[in-house]
Amino acid sequence: MDIREGIKSQFLDLGIEPSDSILDKCVEICLLHNIDEDAFVETWMAYSVTNLEGEAPTIETLSNMERKEFANKNNTSSTNTPGSRPPTTPLTIYNKTPTSSKKPAVENWNRLENITPKGTKDAGLFGKHLSTPVSQPNFSPASFSPIPTTPSGKYSARTNAGESVVDFSERTPGDWVGKERVALTINPYRDEVLTSRCRIMMEPLSEKAAVLNDVIERVGSYLVEINGLQEPTYNRNVSATEVVCVGRICCDSNDHLNPCSVLLEGSQDKCLGQSVPLDLSRLAHFTLFPGQVVAVVGVNPTGQRFIATKLYHSAPLPLPPLLPRFTAPIEIVIAAGPFTQTDSLTYEPLEDLMRYVTSHRPHVLILVGPLVDLRQHQLTAGSIAETYDDFFDKIVKGVVNQLKGSWTQVVVVSSADDAACLPVFPTPPPLSQHPSPPLHLVPDPALLSINGLVIALTATDSLMHLGKEEISFPPGGSDRLGRLASHLLQQQHLYPLWPPIEGLTVDSELWDTHASLPLTPHILVTPSHFRYFIKHLHGCLIINPEHLTKGTAGGTFARLEVEPPTDDVWTPAS
Q: Is 396 in a helix, a strand, or coil?
A: helix
Confidence of residue 349 (pLDDT cuts 50, 70, 90): very high
Convert the pLDDT of each residue in 11-32 to its tens digit. 887 778 889 889 988 988 888 8
Which top CATH class is 186-201+319-562? alpha beta
Higher pLDDT, 168 or 443: 443
Instruction: Between 112 and 157, name the one with better pLDDT.
Output: 157
Ramachandran area for residue 219 (φ above 0: left; ψ -120 to 50: alpha; else beta): alpha
**For all residues of the chain together, what is the average pLDDT?**
84
| Cα distance between residue 232 and residue 245, in whole Å | 5
For the chain, give every domain's residue range: 3-65, 186-201+319-562, 205-312
**pLDDT at residue 386, as a whole number:** 87
Q: How confident is the model at residue 171 (pLDDT cuts 50, 70, 90)?
A: low
Q: For the domain covering 205-312, report its CATH number.
A: 2.40.50
Q: How many CB atoms lie within 10 A of CB 558?
A: 20
The yes-or-no verdict on residue 64 having pLDDT over 60 is yes
pLDDT at 50 exceeding the cut of 90: no
- What whole-number distance in Å separates Cα of residue 70 and Cα of residue 55? 20
Residue 170 has pLDDT above 80, yes or no: no
**For the ranges 36-45, 204-213, 366-375, 508-517, which has the lowest average pLDDT?**
36-45
| Stretch among 64-68, 119-123, 502-506, 526-530 having the lowest mean pLDDT | 119-123
Q: Identify the bridge partners of residue 306 per DSSP, sorted by sequence position.
A: 278
Higher pLDDT, 327 or 488: 488
Residue % of the chain over a pLDDT of 70:
83
Model pLDDT, residue 573:
61
Residue 256 pLDDT greater than 70, yes or no: yes
Q: What is the dihedral of CA 55, 390, 109, 14, to 10 degrees?
A: -40
Among the listed ranges 171-180, 398-407, 494-503, 519-528, which one has the minimum average pLDDT value? 171-180
Percentage of the chain beyond pLDDT 90 is 55
